[in-house]
Structure 1
């Protein structure tokens, strides 16, 4: 199952960008607990930096995940051993499905960055393959593992007030983190019905400020300094002040310095005017979820907000409420009028310590062979994603979606 206590858990990292690097940092800080032994990434500078930082054997550095998989197949055949105990899958979203299936088939324990997959059929198939392989499976829902969320979960599940709850979030990025944490807090109740509304309202060509003229890139725009969505403000100016971490390190191959960021904004997609891009995703969306317990949740995603990639939490119960902002939360007991504010310690790293919490828990789960340490499993993860797909179906089709009916319909399709 897991590695002996005296040996560090060995990791393969597929995708050495911002997410893969964040998880792998745990190995640099705790070499006695785990170490990265092999990687795959198509970007040469990113690959070389990662190789030097982790002091990897160059024969175990690959350009593609297929090359790593083939090398692993050879070692399994010749010496009966995989290249590593576990694999971190941090490639592009649409690749998660094929990479997870391939490495699960070889018996690797898997930590998959979110999302699980990009279609409900692929999510269902992934669940089946992972369960049949009998491997440890972790999902990159790092919100679950931050000190803030863990402390809030303890309060929610303390038995005080369990009749009806309602939650509301505000965020800019993808929503699977948030749907998952809602399902986690309201477990063991499961989603029964979902409705959703939203559209691409603001970031459209007809909403482009007149003063921007014909400019299609931020660095050539005459009103860049006055634009709240300037890529120069978001990516370049923080680097000039010494911040070479997120978000700058997500858009370049190699070191996120002024020269590389400028080049990326001049030639890459991140430097395009938000009103001129081919973006077709929602810039605002509301999701309403009813649970089997009778509880309801409301989640709001907003692109135009000062709270970039930040969340706000509001939970209402029969006898109290919890209000927080991912740094601290206040619990109010309606029966006594008492307010208690909690300040969970941020251990550093992304998502308020969630990155560190997840990789630390995953490595321990692999070491001990205990899926339960992760507090979830592939089937529970699947439920969260089916809820996300139900919300999108509701938004597109203008109807309330029954979660069980949706799942049954997808399973029926898979059997055809």
Structure 2
């Protein structure tokens, strides 16, 4: 049996605790969490109890943890976006292999610095682009590589953020301000941009982008709106963004739906009250905390819709839309080739292959563990742990940093284009200018 790989985790939020640390419970024969860092004492204490961590290995910050002699084989960086690179670089210098949550950084210079550091120290760095590991996209990749639809010429894709997810994460939540975290095209959709590069196996040459913050700003507040949803708002009943609806009564997102189906994903209500998932605690959170603010009275500035047009090698074109204004979430994709097309819907894991002049074929891409990002989360961790156990190189990973840099270049260039009137950006020149 291969040795159990040890893991230190910086950041015990939804990703750090619920995905990476939780993997010890999924596969105890593969992983043991030996150290954690988080500023919230209750999270550290819960992790200590759940994973059997020594008290002296529970730290208030990643910096404090990384100041110690190496405490594990792997360090997971699951803190806020702008903290990632400094912490990951320190972890590499301490001797860790690193799993870095996406995005690496909104700064291209920082992304390149982490890549250089990993190479210099001969350490593996995986980026949390979990969609590469999903059965859905893996099956599409197999189909494209088989040549069944000939040469790919165009791709149309859409990320349906959903109205309530936009309100939760990008209006009220941690990713609402570009300067504090990342532009939304990076924070939310570097997954998608990574998919195009991986599926095509080609480099992106040029990018242009348009988008803006359309709805969630003070001048759009309806007459009678209160600053907080629970403070006598006169339009509460007809407002779909009402915090009580999203976090209490909505059967898919609210606490009452979770009480009726305890096996349902605890997100997003677990973000409001990680250690007390009672209705009383959630009400208190929306009465007092940031998630109870009116969506028209927050300090958000990220876009709520954006389109990115890309030209890849061999004149292959990709059009991608990210929008808040959808009733249901998920990703859709249409890939058009010289012999046929492929249409996929990640929300149902259904793929339709239609060869020109022939009957279409439906494929349901579900197999094995489908938890966490359509089955991608645990597969990514397993792949990285296996690579550490086998002492393999980063090239064995689907999401090594060399592969993952591409999506970040596209996202950063897209945001530059958006902020400059949709200017067409040559990516080779853009990277050269950033390196100078």
TM-score, normalised on structure 2?
0.87
Of 94, 107, 132, the match for 1:106: 94
User: Cα distance, 1:256 vs. partner?
Assistant: 3.2
Unaligned residue ranges in structure 1 (runs of 5+): 73-81
State the Cα deviation string for residues 357-404 of structure 1 (Å, max 9, x = none). 111111111111222332243122112101100100110112100000
Bigger drift between 318-327 and 399-408 goes to 318-327
CA distance in 2, matches of 1:279, 1:9: 40
Alignment-derived partner of residue 171 in structure 2: none
2: distance between equivalents of 1:209 and 1:320?
48
Maintained 8 Å contact 1:169/1:299: yes
Are 1:33 and 2:30 matched, yes or no? yes
Q: Give the 3-state SS of the residue equivalent to 2:320 in structure 1.
A: strand
Q: Say if 1:168 and 1:314, in contact at 8 Å, map to a contact too.
A: yes
Deviation, structure 1 residue 169 = 1.4
Matched, 1:136 2:109: no
Instruction: Determine whether 1:183 maps to 2:197.
Output: yes
Q: 2:134 matched to 1:153?
A: no
Q: Helix, strand or coil for the counterpart of 2:154?
A: coil
Q: Deviations over 1:162-221 (max 9, x none)?
A: 24121311232711111111111111x100000000000111222222242xx1112222
Instruction: Give the corresponding residue for 2:6.
Output: 10
Q: 1:148 to 1:354 in 2, by over 3 A?
A: same
Partner of 1:39: helix, strand, or coil?
strand
Bigger helix fraction: 1
Whether contact under 8 Å (1:43, 1:253) holds in the other structure is: no
Is 93-102 or 320-329 further displaced after alignment?
320-329
Residues of 2 paired with 1:258 and 1:163: CA distance?
50
- Give me the whole-angstrom Cα distance separating, in 2, the residues matched to 1:18 and 1:294: 39
Q: Quick check: 1:348 aligned with 2:361?
A: no
TM-score (norm: length of structure 1): 0.91
Q: Which moved more, 1:390-399 or 1:335-344?
A: 335-344
Question: How much has 1:236 moved relative to structure 2?
Answer: 2.7
Task: Report how far residue 233 of structure 1 moved.
Answer: 2.1
SS in 2 for 1:337: coil
1:302 aligns with 2:314: no
Q: Which shifted more, 42-51 or 285-294?
A: 42-51
Q: Structure 1: which 4+ aligned runs deviate by more than 6 Å?
A: none
8 Å CA contact 2:3, 2:389 repeated in 1? no
Aligned residue for 2:429, secondary structure, equals: helix
Aligned equivalent of 1:78: none
Mapped contact 1:167–1:299 kept (Cα < 8 A)? yes
Q: Which of 350, 353, 364 is the aligned partner of 1:331?
A: 353
Alpha-carbon displacement from aligned partner over 1:261-310 (angstroms, at most 9, x marks no partner): 223222222211111111111100000000012111111010121123x2
- 1:257 Cα deviation after fit: 2.8
For these two proteins, the number of residue pairs brought into alignment is 395
- Determine the C-alpha separation between the residues in 2 that align with 1:348 and 1:261: 28
SS at match of 1:49: helix
> How large is the RMSD of aligned CA atoms in angstroms?
1.6
SS of residue paired to 1:18: coil
**Alpha-carbon distance, 1:346 to partner:** 6.2
Whether 1:208 aligns to 2:221 is yes
The match for 1:171 is: 160
